[in-house]
Amino acid sequence: MSQYTIQMLPGSELLLAEHASEMPQKNELCGAFWITLALRALASVKVEQDHVGLAAGSILSKIQTNESLPPNDAGRSDYILELPRIDDSNITGTSPEGLLVATNELADSKLVAIPLRGEWTAEIIENLLEALVDLNQPALLIANSATRFLWGGKSEPATAFGFLSGHKVQEPPADWNVGHYIGIMGWAQGGKNKLAICADTYRSIGWEGMHFQPLDRIADSLRRDDSEFSGGVFIVINPSHEGIIRNLTANLKLTCQLWDNGTPYIKTEE
């Protein structure tokens, strides 16, 4: 008899409650969306996506089009603050450096965002997830992925179960092609394989914003071997555990450094 198990990361219940109520992200603020959720769920900081975006130096397109949105998604543009806008939509969004700055500025010393980069593999991601479970402290794992490497969100249940059992499956094609921040909340375990349980910023991706991803697809989406730019991950956690995180990531041959996702960091004028 086939057996399947689910393992969620500590803090995922709080984060997913905020996730369900806050979706969708505001246009071009996917990174700010996740730091907003972390601040609310893990630090009880009252904040909106716009506040994080402003602190992070997020950049919006002067003219927003559907090209940056998932297929058939209307997007969301109910901004409450004026954010910088530029003509070149190819570099809009939020830089990793900006998210680090915003967390430091808004978390009131209750959270740190630890950036990780490296030669990502499925094994490294698996070991990182297991280490976070073993640590048993509320944390948010944010992946800055290139969506062209990921499974399409609405994979058939038979595809997911077949993959977990080790069968060869027809992998669902990617939904879209952008640089994007997603949350990794845990994993599903089958007899042979694991699938990461991912949360998106749009209800239209997957099932109400939740989808499964093979660990090697996530690794590909972080390395981005076909691009001059790359991805990485943030672990957002209480500062008292920063030293532990830095030690365990060194053991995984990861470095606590920022990556270049193609969006510049522009310091906000004070």
pTM, rounded to two decimals:
0.96
What's the pLDDT at 1? 62
> What is 5-251's CATH superfamily?
Cysteine proteinases (3.90.70.10)
User: Helices 12-22 & 30-43, crossing angle to 10 degrees?
Assistant: 130
Residues 125-159 pLDDT 10s? 999 999 999 999 999 999 999 999 999 998 899 99
Q: What percent of the chain has pLDDT over 90?
A: 91
For the chain, domain boundaries: 5-251
Residues of the chain short of pLDDT 50, as ranges, are none
Residues 79-130 pLDDT 10s? 999 999 999 988 999 999 999 999 999 999 999 999 999 999 999 999 999 9
Spell out the residues 6+ positions from residue 149 whose beta carbon is closer than 8 angstroms to its own.
Answer: 174, 217, 220, 221, 224
What's the pLDDT at 154? 87
